[in-house]
Amino acid sequence: MAPIPKSHPMADLTSPEALISANGLTKTFPSPRGTLTALDNITFSLKEGSITGLIGPDGAGKTTLMRLLAGLLLPDSGEIRIMGNNPSRDPLSVQGSIGYMPQKFGLYEDLSVQENLDLYADLQGVPRNRRKELYAPLLSMTALSPFGKRLAGQLSGGMKQKLGVACSLVHQPPILLLDEPTVGVDPVSRRELWEILRKLVRESRSTLFVSTSYLDEAERCDEILILYNGKILGSGTPESFRKEVAGHGYRAETPGQSPRIVEPTLSLLPGVVDTVLEGSTIRIVMGGDTPPTFSESLGEIILKSVPPRFEDAFMSRIKKITNATPKLISIDRLYPRQSRNKNNKNGSPYAIEVENLVRDFGSFRAVDNLSFHVRKGEVFGLLGANGAGKTTTFRILSGLLAPTGGKLVVAGENVRRAAAHARQSIGYMAQKFSLYSQLTVFQNLTFYSSAYGLSGTQQKEKIQDSLIFFELEPYRNVSSGILPLGFRQRLALSCALIHEPSILFLDEPTSGVDPNARREFWHIINALATVGVSVLVTTHFMEEAEYCDRLLIMAQGALLAMGSPSEIKEKTKSPRIPDPSLEDAFVSLLSDFKKTQGDQK
x/- string (CB under 8 A) for other proteins, residues 6-25? x-xx----------------
Distance separating alpha carbons of residues 299 and 278, to the nearest angstrom: 19
SS3 assignment, position 277: strand
Q: Which is nearer to other proteins, 97 or 502 (CB)?
A: 97
Task: Give, for 599, the enclosing helix (H) or strand (E).
Answer: helix 582-600
* From 108, 194, 436, 593, residue interacting with other proteins (rule: CB under 8 A): 108
Kindly state whether residue 72 participates in binding other proteins, applying the rule CB under 8 A.
Answer: yes
Do the bridges between strand 534-538 and strand 364-375 make them parallel or antiparallel, or are there none, so unpaired? Answer: unpaired
Distance separating alpha carbons of residues 487 and 293, to the nearest angstrom: 33
SS3 assignment, position 31: strand
Measured between its terminal Cα atoms, the distance across the chain in Å is 60
- In the complex, the smallest distance separating the C-beta of residue 4 from other proteins, rounded to whole angstroms, is 6
**What secondary structure does DSSP assign to 531-585, as a single string?**
TT-EEEEE-S-HHHHHT-SEEEEEETTEEEEEE-HHHHHHHT--SS-SS--HHHH
x/- string (CB under 8 A) for other proteins, residues 144-163? -------x------------
* From 123, 324, 328, 400, residue interacting with other proteins (rule: CB under 8 A): 123
Kindly state whether residue 126 participates in binding other proteins, applying the rule CB under 8 A.
Answer: yes
Q: Which is nearer to other proteins, 115 or 244 (CB)?
A: 115
Q: Which is nearer to other proteins, 63 or 502 (CB)?
A: 63
Kindly state whether residue 109 participates in binding other proteins, applying the rule CB under 8 A.
Answer: yes
Kindly state whether residue 201 participates in binding other proteins, applying the rule CB under 8 A.
Answer: no
* From 62, 160, 171, 242, residue interacting with other proteins (rule: CB under 8 A): 171
- Read off the DSSP letter of residue 494: H
Q: Which is nearer to other proteins, 164 or 403 (CB)?
A: 164
Task: Report which residue type is found at 514.
Answer: D
Q: Which is nearer to other proteins, 109 or 570 (CB)?
A: 109
Query: Cβ(57)–Cβ(228) under 8 Å?
Result: yes
Hey, CA dihedral for 328, 331, 337, 342, is it positive or negative? negative
Q: Which is nearer to other proteins, 85 or 267 (CB)?
A: 85
Helix axes 187-204, 157-168, angle to 10 degrees: 20
- In the complex, the smallest distance separating the C-beta of residue 107 from other proteins, rounded to whole angstroms, is 7
Distance separating alpha carbons of residues 423 and 420, to the nearest angstrom: 5
Kindly state whether residue 32 participates in binding other proteins, applying the rule CB under 8 A.
Answer: no
Task: Report which residue type is found at 325.
Answer: T
Kindly state whether residue 71 participates in binding other proteins, applying the rule CB under 8 A.
Answer: yes
* From 22, 167, 503, 537, residue interacting with other proteins (rule: CB under 8 A): 167
Distance separating alpha carbons of residues 281 and 294, to the nearest angstrom: 16
* Alpha carbons within 13 A on the beta-carbon side of 248: 24
x/- string (CB under 8 A) for other proteins, residues 386-425? ----------------------------------------
Q: Which is nearer to other proteins, 118 or 263 (CB)?
A: 118
Kindly state whether residue 93 participates in binding other proteins, applying the rule CB under 8 A.
Answer: yes
Of 193, 198, 178, 44, nearest to 106 (Cα)? 178
* From 18, 36, 119, 558, residue interacting with other proteins (rule: CB under 8 A): 119
Query: Cβ(358)–Cβ(404) under 8 Å?
Result: yes
- In the complex, the smallest distance separating the C-beta of residue 8 from other proteins, rounded to whole angstroms, is 6
Kindly state whether residue 98 participates in binding other proteins, applying the rule CB under 8 A.
Answer: yes
Q: Which is nearer to other proteins, 72 or 201 (CB)?
A: 72
Q: Which residues bind other proteins (CB under 8 A)?
A: 4-6, 8-9, 67, 70-74, 90-93, 95-98, 100-111, 115, 118-120, 122-126, 151, 167-168, 171-173
